[in-house]
Chains A and B, each alone.
Chain A
Amino acid sequence: MTAKYSRTDDFFVNTADLSARRPPPRSQNAAVQILQLPAVIVASYLAYIGGTIFFWNLLNDFPAILAIIVKILASKVGIHLDSLDTFLNIFIVNITNVVEAGWLGFLVAFPYIIYSVANGLYVQWRTNIPIYRNIVFLSDITQSVFLLAVIVGLYTLMLNVKDNTQIPINWNVVSRRFSVEVSEGPDFNTELTWLKDIPLVGDSLANVNVLRPGTATRALMTGVINTLRAVLLALVFSTLLGIFVGIGLLSNNWLVRNLSTIYVEIFRNTPLLVQLFFIFRGLLGVLPTSPRDAYKLGDFYLSGRGLNFPKVLTTDTYPYFLVSVIAGLVVGIYLWRWRLKVQDETGKPANTLAWFSMAFWGLGAIGLGLAFAVGGSPFKLDYPVLDRFNFSGGSRWSSGYLTLVVGLTLYTGAFIADIVRAGIQSVSYGQIEAARAHGLTSNQTLRLVVLPQAMRLIVPPLTNQYLNLSKNSSLAIAIGFYDLYNVATVVQNQTGQAVALFAILMGTYLVISLLISLLMNMVNRSMRLKTR
């Protein structure tokens, strides 16, 4: 179809040279430029909210006065609003609280509402777009209404909590005395002597109320340390177990493969609590309770109260040993890198592991020998000795601790095994074939081709499992192990300050989760495939 138009403005040749321009310039006025910075806007909004809360008492009288004026005016007209009060009181939800919260919500959302209304009206004046159809205005209003609803909801709940708790919320609960005996973890009834060693703030820190021996804070700190003890050990063991079983799931051996599958299916499909109870009551519970009848394996004593084993203490000659071990590590790493460079330049096999081991173990042995020569073994063992009723000396893992670690290991290990299997299977078989065709041995294929790619698929769900493990450690309350959650519950029972304690509790768990996520994110990022 040929065009019938021949007017010259249909033919157009652009002879101008239009290069890129910057976006439409903002106002030249420096003051306006500063005022439009996001930081300034946010800061002033926060200051406004702070002022609202600070002057809340004054501001709060306003609606009450307004209500009175309205009532007076209405009664002048002939409408009596008093009966409305009694009618509203029938509602179980506290209307006064809702009204107060509504007032706060309105005050907080007020600037935003004003801003969006002003903007909408300006646009309407300039461009004839009616405000109720302006999509910018509509989205602003939606957000401010949402903000209002959220603030009203939360503040009403807070007010109701304040009304309904008989015990006033006391954030100082943490300095009260904690009287329950917690028999493991750092003893919270002693002074923290190392605090004084901190420069500058040490002395004043040591005298702070909340850190005194016997307070709830110290007990909570002990709880945190107990939680960390259990979680870290369980993390390491469950990862090892998971890797081991995950590889077993892909084994050539029919028996090993199916047994691994059975293990994974059983421990994934039973609740963790059932497993913990079974171990705690069913297995450890049938051990003899009296230490006298404990099962003995060398110097390890297993009884219903836990596992007592010799404690490893360091002697005066320990520093010699430590220094040489660290030296061995450093030298070993240098040798490792040197050997890799040698391989790059000359092609000779690197044997990095052999050289590293030589340096590390060698220097370690030298250090050991040195320690012996100077003054004796760098370690000494403190053996558990049976007193009348109990063991003294040595260290003890209580049966609760054992149960928690073993249970968490078995449970999480099953999930990790499946993740490892999926990760290894995701590497397409063609890669393995190509590697083998190039002459790489089975080990080298695994190390250089399969594992790096498999790790990419393994790390994110692994992070998830680690987070689950740290959260599942709170089940220690069911078996009487004094982890953080158990301690917090005891404090809450004693003092009744549920709100303060749950805030502390949830905050701590959030921090632990955050730390694990951050760490694993760093690991993940270091393994990211570089794409375009």
Chain B
Amino acid sequence: MSEQSNSNGYIIECQDVNKWFGEFHVLKDINIKVKEREVVVVIGPSGSGKSTLIRCINRLEEHQEGKIVVDGIELSNDLKNINAIRRETGMVFQSFNLFPHLTVMQNITLAQRYVRRRPRRDAEDMARQLLQRVGIPEQANKYPGQLSGGQQQRVAIARALAMQPKIMLFDEPTSALDPEMIKEVLDVMKELARSGMTMLVVTHEMGFAREVADRVIFMDSGRIVEIGTPEHFFENPSHERTKLFLSQIL
């Protein structure tokens, strides 16, 4: 699928990415490199552009300047590229965005059947496996409205995984959940990380970052302020802004 082989083993590469909403400069000179099988957590105050960055990677938002390369495919106005990239990335949203008029099983198999062109049996088998993996195999025939928040988010994760993506993007997956349910979703994400999936997670869960992340990116006002390993980041931050931020939340 990739037109050029991965350069240096980086699966996501952003070079000098700039984005404006009208006159408002929302992403300023973003440079990120994410390796395969790496778990990168993006943290920062609200309005810092973290969600926008994630959404630019699978073309839910368009960047005006700079270059984004995912799995060797450059993100541009090329329809084929966009579709290919969307197939390679799976996204989990803050508000779950499950389709309320379809059952859980149908939610997970819909894209498989119409995008990946899998036959229904195979799609359902894959769906059942994934539901088992996220821990709710018995909810297959229920409607999303009948599930709790944590269960819905896990179904959303299963739905994204069903497309067998190479990268999973998480846009504040636990921000809309009650505290009791955050743990179950984080457990799924930890298991996912352990199994070797490349993950780019925007979250406020510092515990998760400390435990699972390979690297932490701190963004503020649209620019990347600091990148580091969790130990470096949480024990020994360098930038003033990082120190200020951490002092307010920890």
Contacts and interface: CB of A to CB of B under 8 A. Distances in A.
A136 B78 CA distance: 9
B135 interface: no
Contact of B226 (A3, A13, A18): A13
Interface residues of A, number: 27
B108 to A, nearest CB: 28
B1 interface: no
Contacts of B230: 2-3
A129 B78 CA distance: 6
A138 interface: yes
A2 B229 contact: yes
Interface in A10-34: 10-15, 18, 20-24
Interface in B156-212: 193-194, 211-212
A1 B232 CA distance: 14
B82 interface: yes
A17 to B, nearest CB: 9
B79 A138 contact: yes
B196 to A, nearest CB: 11
A275 B231 CA distance: 82
A12 B229 contact: no
Main secondary structure of the interface of A (DSSP, over half): loop
B110 interface: no
A123 B28 contact: no
Nearest to A14: B225
Contact of B78 (A2, A5, A13, A130): A130
A20 B29 CA distance: 10
Contacts of A127: 76
A127 B3 CA distance: 14
A137 B80 CA distance: 13
A11 B228 contact: yes
22 contacts: A1-B211, A2-B229, A2-B230, A2-B231, A11-B232, A12-B224, A13-B239, A14-B239, A18-B28, A18-B29, A20-B28, A21-B18, A22-B25, A23-B23, A123-B77, A129-B76, A129-B81, A134-B78, A135-B77, A135-B79, A136-B77, A137-B77
Contact of A24 (B64, B78, B194, B239): B64
B61 interface: no
Contacts of B23: 22-23
A20 B228 contact: no
A11 B232 CA distance: 9
A133 interface: yes
Given A3-B215, A14-B223, A135-B79, 5 more contacts: A1-B212, A10-B229, A13-B238, A18-B28, A127-B76
A3 B214 contact: yes
Interface of A: 1-3, 5, 9-15, 18, 20-24, 123, 127, 129-130, 133-138
Given A1-B214, A135-B77, A14 B82 contact: no
Identify the interface centre among A2, A14, A21: most chain B CB within 10 Å of its CB. Answer: A14
Contacts of A11: 227-229, 232
B14 interface: no
A135 B86 CA distance: 15
Interface of B: 18, 20, 23-25, 28-29, 33, 39, 64-65, 76-82, 193-194, 211-215, 222-232, 238-239
Contacts of A23: 20, 23, 25, 64
Contacts of B231: 2
A14 to B, nearest CB: 5
Contact of A133 (B28, B78, B214, B223): B78
Contacts of A135: 77-79, 82
B14 to A, nearest CB: 13
A133 B214 CA distance: 37
A289 B39 CA distance: 93
A189 B63 CA distance: 69
B17 to A, nearest CB: 13
Given A18-B29, A24-B64, A12 B214 contact: no
B229 A3 contact: yes
A134 B77 contact: yes
A10 B80 contact: no
A12 B228 contact: yes
A138 B77 CA distance: 10
B78 A21 contact: no
A443 to B, nearest CB: 45
Contact of A14 (B18, B39, B64, B226): B226
A364 to B, nearest CB: 57
Identify the interface centre among B29, B194, B229, B231: most chain A CB within 10 Å of its CB. Answer: B229
Nearest to B79: A133
A14 B229 contact: no
A127 B75 CA distance: 11
Nearest to B217: A12
- The 10 residue pairs across chains A and B that have the minimum distance between CB atoms: A129-B78, A12-B227, A20-B25, A133-B79, A3-B229, A3-B214, A23-B20, A13-B238, A18-B223, A133-B80
